[in-house]
């Protein structure tokens, strides 16, 4: 099987699983307990926090362990909105955000917040000047993803951060789920106050992640309870999950993405030779592992299932949206028609994929697309 759906989730690395199993067996006690076993688990949890923080170049007190990207995004956005609503009730984000950001902002609109959704350019990249124009004296948060999960377009985080630094009342949140460990992101230098990361995009485990919260930034917690994670995320800490996450983060930073970029660029070149495919990933400003393609006249989900018969696994849109059977909101925001957006698929690689797999994917596509097109023409 050729697995080209790594933006949905990655296969857990054996060393991550080994770390999780060992930690589960040895440090199973509740880290909040006062007995020796609990205190030992607490020390191990803090060790994992320190490791993640060190790799990110931040302080351990700035890392909040969560269940993944969705929780981190919701905590960042809703937590900021509720804590700072006395300062203002305006939020700026984009039309191409992940559902966990987009829908969180929709929820806040129901509570009386005003949200500006900035439109991207035709290549899927937002313009910093448009973000700047959207900011007002009432803006308490700007939330922009680093790498788009459908197209791979890299957003100008550094330039946006520079703009936000001129607005001291405004916080800057970055959804780094797709870009973390793959595309450089300078938290301190680029003025990022909040950053979301998910473990299962890094060959870690589902249900693991963290939110970077810069020192001095306050959030209203989403969960009421025992006040774990410095009061920001109540609930018994997932010690083994945190340890496995620290391992996955270390591996991500040690991974070489250049071979992945080489494969993706080869795919881009080969796909460009075929008249029946459109490529929506920008050449000059994209992550090394994602390509967005559409096939006029075909349905994306039909193509996904046809490729699966060839033992090639790809996806349509974001895994969080694919079952809705609607054309990609992200592609439509880029000005792509609903018909063309409905024919889109996403291929996403990891460091485990090979050039041979890429060649086999092209061969499978060359078999599948003409066959599906012929069947479509026969029906019409």
Segment 201-260, tens digit of pLDDT: 999 999 999 999 999 999 999 999 999 999 999 999 999 999 999 999 999 999 999 999
Q: What confidence category does residue 167 fall into, taking pLDDT thresholds of 50, 70 and 90?
A: very high
What does pLDDT average to over the chain?
96
Q: How far apart are CA 292 and CA 205, in angstroms?
A: 25
Q: Does residue 182 surpass a pLDDT of 70?
A: yes
Mean pLDDT value of segment 291-298: 96
Q: What confidence category does residue 375 fall into, taking pLDDT thresholds of 50, 70 and 90?
A: confident
pLDDT of residue 92: 98
Q: How far apart are CA 161 and CA 230, in angstroms?
A: 27
Q: How far apart are CA 181 and CA 13, in angstroms?
A: 15
Q: Does residue 319 surpass a pLDDT of 60?
A: no
Q: Does residue 321 surpass a pLDDT of 60?
A: no
Sorted by where each starts, the structural domains of the chain and their CATH numbers stand as: 2-9+256-379 (3.90.1150.10), 14-253 (3.40.640.10)
pLDDT of residue 224: 93
CB 56, CB 187: distance < 8 Å: yes
Q: If DSSP states are collapsed to H, E and C, what string results for 6-64?
A: CCCCCCCCHHHHHHHHHHHHHCCCCCCCCCHHHHHHHHHHHHHHHHHHHHHCCCHHHEE
Q: How far apart are CA 266 and CA 119, in angstroms?
A: 30
Q: What residues are labeled active site? A: 320
Task: Tally Cβ neighbours within 10 Å of residue 132.
Answer: 18
The residue to which tokens 């069947």 are assigned? 375
The CA-atom distances, in angstroms, between 93 and each of 98, 202, 251, 282, 292 are: 11, 25, 31, 21, 22
Q: Does residue 323 surpass a pLDDT of 60?
A: no
pLDDT of residue 214: 98
Q: What confidence category does residue 195 fall into, taking pLDDT thresholds of 50, 70 and 90?
A: very high
pLDDT of residue 317: 73
């Amino acid at each position: 099987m050729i697995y080209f759906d790594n933006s949905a989730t990655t296969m857990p690395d054996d060393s991550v699983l080994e770390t999780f199993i060992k930690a589960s067996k040895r440090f199973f006690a509740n880290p909040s307990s006062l007995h020796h076993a609990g205190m030992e688990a607490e020390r191990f949890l803090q060790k994992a926090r320190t490791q993640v923080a060190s790799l990110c170049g931040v302080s351990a007190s700035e890392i909040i362990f969560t269940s993944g990207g969705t929780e981190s995004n919701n905590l960042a956005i809703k937590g900021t909105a509720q804590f700072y609503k006395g300062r203002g009730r305006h939020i700026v984000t984009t039309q191409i955000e992940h559902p966990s950001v987009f829908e969180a902002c929709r929820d806040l609109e129901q509570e009386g917040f005003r949200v500006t959704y900035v439109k991207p350019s035709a290549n899927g990249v937002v313009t910093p000047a448009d973000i700047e124009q959207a900011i007002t004296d009432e803006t308490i948060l700007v939330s922009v993803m680093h790498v788009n999960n459908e197209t791979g377009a890299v957003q100008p985080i550094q330039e946006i951060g520079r703009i936000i630094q001129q607005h001291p009342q405004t916080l800057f949140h970055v959804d780094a789920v797709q870009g973390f460990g793959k595309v450089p992101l300078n938290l301190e230098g680029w003025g990022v106050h909040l950053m979301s990361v998910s473990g299962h995009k890094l060959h870690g485990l589902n249900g693991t992640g963290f939110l970077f919260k810069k020192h001095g930034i306050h959030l209203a917690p989403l969960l009421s309870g025992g006040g774990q994670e410095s009061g920001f995320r109540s609930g018994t800490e997932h010690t083994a999950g945190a340890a496995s996450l620290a391992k996955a983060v270390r591996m991500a930073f040690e991974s070489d993405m250049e071979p992945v970029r080489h494969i993706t660029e080869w795919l881009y070149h080969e796909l460009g030779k075929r008249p029946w495919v459109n490529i929506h990933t920008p050449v000059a400003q994209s992550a090394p592992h994602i390509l967005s393609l559409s096939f006029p006249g075909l349905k994306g989900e039909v193509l996904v299932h046809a490729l699966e018969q060839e033992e090639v696994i790809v996806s349509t849109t974001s895994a969080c949206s694919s079952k809705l059977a609607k054309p990609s909101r992200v592609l439509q925001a880029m000005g792509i028609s609903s018909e063309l957006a409905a024919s889109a698929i996403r291929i996403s690689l990891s460091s485990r994929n090979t050039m041979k797999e890429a060649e086999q994917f092209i061969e499978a596509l060359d078999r599948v697309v003409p066959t599906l097109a012929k069947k479509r023409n026969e029906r019409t």
